Amino acid sequence: MVGTGGPVDTFSVWDYVVFAGTILAAAGIGLFQAIRGRKETSSEEFLLGGRQMTAVPVAMSLTASFMSGITVIGTPTEAYRFGSAFWLFGFSYAIMSVVTAELFVPLFYRLGITSTYEYLGLRFSRPIRIIGTSMYISQTVLYTGLVIYAPALALNQITGLNLWGVLVATGAVCILYCTLGGLKAVIWTDVVQMVIMLSGFVAVIARGAVLQGGLTKIWEDAGEGGRLEAFDFDPDPLKRHTFWTIVVGGSIMWVSIYAINQSQVQRYISCKTLGHAKTSLYLNMIGLWLTVSLAVFSGLTMYSIYKKCDPLLNGDISTPDQLLPYLVMDILAIYPGIPGLFVAAAYSGTLSTVSSSINALVAVTVEDFILPVCKNLTEKQVTWMNMGLSVFFGVVCIGMAGVASLMGSVLQAALSIFGMISGPLLGLYLLGMLFRTTNSVGGLLGMIIGLVLTLWVGIGGQVYPPSEEKTIPLPVTTVGCFNASTMAPLTTGQPDFRPALADSWYSLSYLYLCPLGTLTTMVFGLLVSMATGGCKQEKLNSDLFVRSKDLICFSFFNKSKVSDVTEKDSTEFHISADDFDLKRQVEKSTKL
């Protein structure tokens, strides 16, 4: 009987057919785009889709890129265990969209950059650009490994799918259409995968509503179980989720993801006009609202079904991340093919994130490391290099999946990675964009101090997880289980020895890691810059700063396109690597 515990069915033949068919169809879209554009082999076409993309597909790709398999599995589990506070991220998405669209998009768009970190070279120095790129690569490889491994592990233990077989297949599919089709293939594949992800949530909610007697009953059960108490205004920064940690900390964290992360920036600068670029972010905001709403309601549906028999407490599953796959096999196994659709939804999220990461990693490697040094490469050589790097990074990300198994709760671990690394990077960008007095010495030292601080707190929080007094999991029971388990309660996994900092400094909400890194970088960056003379002797291009007119989109679809800037003019072949960014800056200011 549904909702009373015990083993559940595994995949049927039809589930395998639907799963394989859905994934292959999504990949086929990418391959179609690759074949369709096989004559357009320039590096700009491969990395930016020829800068001819429009708002709607880019918006769906932006949403799909970070609404990964981790989100499909992790967010419903979050709502089931901790309540609907995750819904408050809707405020964070709105703030992020406005800040990114009005401050960052116009700046990057008029500079005509390919790699986000080109800006750091133009504003500060080449060493800072290299450091920023290196931080991004390390962050993205680790995050992508987590994205590949966590959903595969959870689904393997519930559905019986071979773990490493699926891991390798996931990586192989991504490598195939990334290598052949570039960004255009990635974006159009993301569109299909976004639809599949949302369909998976709808299937869970619809079947749950039928079993429980309607959506109203699910909502009532959630209220009685304390799952609807989302607005906690306690200012305590050690509490995992409150209104302030989500809205303040979450907003800054999501700005760091959408405003400076290459995977996201690469999409909106591929748009053919500034208006399309801004519109894609606002449409993406709506997509994020829809996705998080369906994900959270899926978690409330799960609670309504298991309110009297928690599968984790009853020993039916071994980790919280298996809750949603367990639910799917419990309530949808009687419909052959539907569990396969849900698993395809989880893997669609994985494919979209992995493909986005591979394409972005190729872009920053080529633009920040290779072209400034090897300036005599032909267009054909660069194209082959792009394809070879796509294969290389795909293999690296699959290998990193094993490391990701040590990261604990998938959703929190994924967001913690961004907080620890993206926070100091965001502070560095804001120093460059908003303050003319900031110099390279101040920016570098500020970022290093911010990074050391966030790594200290973030790694400490992973080693010594916060106590339940700070995470506040909501109560569950096994009184309604058909065969209630007599096993001992699950431990929290905390080490026996806890240092004095474990219940204070290390217990800082993971959502405050990014604000901590951002503010620390900005404060120390400004202080060091003032102490070292600021930028008095440097003549800075005004295009490198935020302009007041950037805050208003004068035309819905501005006709001015991205500057047609290349780094391969024949005159550049004779300049040194140290002069590369200066040369680039002069050319951009002339053309703009």
- Residue 293's pLDDT is 94
CB contact at 8 A, 271 and 55: yes
User: Predicted confidence band at 581 (pLDDT cuts at 50, 70, 90)?
Assistant: very low
- Give a yes or no: residue 238 inside a domain: yes
Residue 427 lies in a domain: no
Number of domains making up the chain? 1
**DSSP letter assigned to residue 53:** B
Residue 546 resides in a domain: no
Whose tokens are 């709502």? That residue is 79
571 lies in a domain?
A: no
Q: 480, 478, 496: which is closest to 488 by C-alpha?
A: 478
Residue 234 lies in a domain: yes
> Quick one: pLDDT at residue 262?
87
Structural domain includes residue 364: yes
Higher pLDDT, 153 or 340: 340
538 lies in a domain? Answer: no
Contact 354, 172 (CB under 8 A): no
Q: What would you report as the CA-atom Rg of the chain, rounded to the nearest whole angstrom?
A: 24
Residue 505 lies in a domain: no
pLDDT at 332: 87
Phi, psi of 53 (to 5 degrees): -80, 155
pLDDT digits (tens, 9 = 90+) for 68-125: 667 788 889 999 999 999 999 999 999 999 999 999 999 998 888 888 999 999 999 8
pLDDT for 52: 74
Task: Give tens-digit pLDDT for 547-578.
Answer: 877 665 444 444 444 444 433 333 333 333 34
pTM, two decimal places: 0.83
**pLDDT digits 0-9 by tens, 517-536:** 999 999 999 999 999 887 66
What is the structure's pLDDT at 446? 95
Q: Is the pLDDT of residue 328 over 70?
A: yes
DSSP structure class, residue 466: P
* CB 41, CB 366: distance < 8 Å: no
b/e code 209-220 from CB counts within 10 Å (16+ = b): bebbeebeebbe
Answer yes or no: is pLDDT of 448 > 90.
yes
- Structural domain of 117: 13-406
> Per-residue pLDDT tens for 46-69?
666 667 788 888 888 888 776 666
Does the pLDDT of residue 241 top 70, yes or no?
yes
**For position 327, which CATH number holds?**
1.20.1730.10
Distance CA 321, CA 71 (A): 11
